[in-house]
Amino acid sequence: MKEIIPKLSQELFQTKIRIEEELTQGNKTNEELYNLITKTIDFLKAKRTGEPISKKLPIYKYFEKQYGITNLFLIKISKEARAFYTNISGGEYQILQIILEVHKTHKEYEKKGGYN
């Protein structure tokens, strides 16, 4: 049986580290985003899955171009917040779930998908 391992994209990992540094200095400007990233990780660690996104949709095309993905899933973190991840092989016994982006509002990801 394959082990499923949630990971952050390099960009999202750097964002999480930066926010952690801000929080230790008492700056809570990005605390909401940090909590959403943490919720997304916890969601995937609980062996839950997001909704698959059709390759025909503009948001899929954005992620395909940006990250070179071959599959895309959406997680509804809250009423407004959404996270996107992809599954890739981590070898014979692992599947890596790479969290690509986390957005606080619909407007954030709709703009990237060209839904304006």
pTM over 0.85: yes
Q: What percent of the chain has pLDDT over 70?
A: 97
Question: CB burial class (10 A; 0-12, 13-18, 19+) of residue 36?
Answer: buried
Which alpha helices (DSSP H) does the chain contain, by range?
Answer: 10-24, 31-45, 58-67, 106-112
The topology under which CATH files domain 3-112 is YaeB-like fold (3.30.2310)
How many whole angstroms from its chain centre is CA 43? 11
Q: What is the mean pLDDT of residues 72-77?
A: 96
Give residue limits of the domains in the chain.
3-112
With bands split at pLDDT 50, 70 and 90, how would you rate the model's confidence at 116?
Answer: low
pLDDT in tens, 33-70: 999 999 999 999 998 999 999 999 999 999 999 999 99
- Other beta carbons less than 10 A from residue 110's beta carbon: 15
Residue 16 has pLDDT above 70, yes or no: yes
